[in-house]
Structure 1
């Protein structure tokens, strides 16, 4: 007659199963089919002995795959040198099914590795946010003001009286009409800024390689403030 386990033992057993399955789900060496097989195998584990003895045919029928698929998964999970050693298996003779027990020693190692990956992901996200916050100071004066970035006093800036060497004329003296025409002429040889909201994302991914500039580029396109000079800086 099978002895009933106590409620405390049942809760401890359930917690143990969840810890093992949680760790297996975070192991990059465990294939999807192997995890499905292990999950079904866990449902056959005896609460007191913590071992299971289902047949391969039964597992295959429950999952809906072939016997060979289940056999290969169990073999991969049982190989000590295979990179995902999650099972011990033994059998008395070739006429009997295997006894399976889960390797719980790996739970702590895998969960620690998961925590390390989470820490690296958070640090990478923090670095991306920092890079995005550094875009505004590099933008033209009027755009920086729109973003709320404090800029220096006007006395700190002097407009050159001579045109830049790479321009045929001093573009700072142009009228707004001349400026817009010049930009269209420059863009006719290269990129034309989209005007439809649905085109913004595609254009940004195609023309601005640094993803740190994507959010600011989207804001400028929506506001109609994207200029040739800003685009060249972001695309550089």
Structure 2
């Protein structure tokens, strides 16, 4: 995602990423995504879950100069604002849906040669911050999450690329945690499989798979994620932006995105 990632995760994730996700990551979201996630959370990610954040996406980005209002059935709403390159600039959240602003996350991006090399975000109130670094291909390699009063969280991403430097696999580990997360990606750098090994020894695995139906080259029309007893179906508009989500099974909820773009 530049992944249009762009989300507001306070995750020690994994997504930068428009997360219509089904996170299995170690996040504490408010999604500022530097994620490679597969959340089952009801986060406010607006990204199409791709290899996450910073990697060059479609040109021009479908998120360029857009705003999106994300409304989950569990309540509240988040308004996202993207810059001309389709990178997330602000996320404003009304947690209880009463019309008052409860939190704001602002994002900063360092771009070298058209590829993100580092990013930061800060959520207020609370002064929660995260800094991320990326490899030469714009894929996240390290994220540091700082929550005042708590130990900092450092998460590392070991990335594997194909001959064309597309991300095909990432192994995610967090300092102090036994969990190992393995993510697989398709030719469009979109998440297709996540395996969470909670203890790092293969004794407890959780697997989530995602299949994509495209309306054009790397332009999704639907995606279906299955894992942990839940099936999540997301639909996309003609520009490849998520517009509706429906989860059934162990976790049942829905969400909509309303986009305003040039």
Question: Is TM more than 0.5 here?
Answer: no
Normalised to the residue count of structure 2, the TM-score between the two structures is: 0.22
Normalised to the residue count of structure 1, the TM-score between the two structures is: 0.24
Greater strand share, structure number:
2
Greater CA radius of gyration, 1 or 2? 1
The structure with higher relative contact order (CA 8 Å, sep 6+) is 2
